[in-house]
Amino acid sequence: MGYVAVQGGREAIERACDLYESSRSGRNSSPLGLDQIREQLPLAVDRVMGEGGLYAPDHAALSLRQAAGDTFEASLLLRAHRATLPRLAESLDCSSSSMRMVRRISSAFKDVPGGQVLGPTSDYTLRLLDFEILEDPLARRQLIRDRLFDGRIDEEEVPDEFPRVVELLRAEGLVEDVETGEDEPFDITRRSLVYPAPRSARLQAMARGETGGMLFLAYSSMRGYGHIHPTLAELRVGYVPLLVRNPLTGEDVVAGEVLATEADVVSRFSDPEGQPRFHVGYGMCFGQNEVKAISMGVLDRCMRAATPSSPAEDQEFVLSHIDGIESMGFSNHWKLPHYVDFLSDLDRLRKAQEVDRARR
In 3D space, the residue among 218, 191, 219 whose CA is nearest the CA of residue 205 turns out to be 191
With DSSP H G I counted as helix, E B as strand and the rest as coil, what are the percentages for the chain, rounded to 5?
45, 15, 40
Work out how close the CB of 14 gets to other proteins at its nearest, in angstroms, rounded to a whole number. Answer: 9
Work out how close the CB of 131 gets to other proteins at its nearest, in angstroms, rounded to a whole number. Answer: 36
252 neighbors 278 (Cβ within 8 angstroms): no
Nearer to other proteins, 142 or 309 (CB): 309
Question: Cα-Cα-Cα-Cα dihedral of 156, 46, 243, 102, to 10°?
Answer: 10
Work out how close the CB of 334 gets to other proteins at its nearest, in angstroms, rounded to a whole number. Answer: 8
Distances (CA, A) of 11 to 47, 210, 332: 35, 35, 22
Work out how close the CB of 42 gets to other proteins at its nearest, in angstroms, rounded to a whole number. Answer: 18
How far, rounded to the nearest angstrom, does the alpha carbon of residue 209 sit from its chain's CA centroid?
5
Nearer to other proteins, 122 or 192 (CB): 192
Binding site for other proteins (CB under 8 A): 2-3, 5-10, 13, 58-59, 62-63, 66, 76-77, 79-87, 187-196, 273, 316, 320, 325-333, 336-341, 343-348, 351-352, 355-356, 359
Q: Is the dihedral of CA 351, 357, 358, 360 positive or negative?
A: positive
Nearer to other proteins, 96 or 327 (CB): 327
Nearer to other proteins, 217 or 263 (CB): 217
Tell me how far apart the alpha carbons of residues 239 and 113 are, in angstroms, rounded to a whole number.
Answer: 19
Work out how close the CB of 78 gets to other proteins at its nearest, in angstroms, rounded to a whole number. Answer: 9
Work out how close the CB of 40 gets to other proteins at its nearest, in angstroms, rounded to a whole number. Answer: 19
Nearer to other proteins, 81 or 227 (CB): 81
Please give the DSSP secondary-structure letter assigned to residue 304.
T
Tell me how far apart the alpha carbons of residues 66 and 225 are, in angstroms, rounded to a whole number.
Answer: 39
Backbone angles phi, psi at 252, to 5 degrees: -90, 125
Nearer to other proteins, 213 or 238 (CB): 213
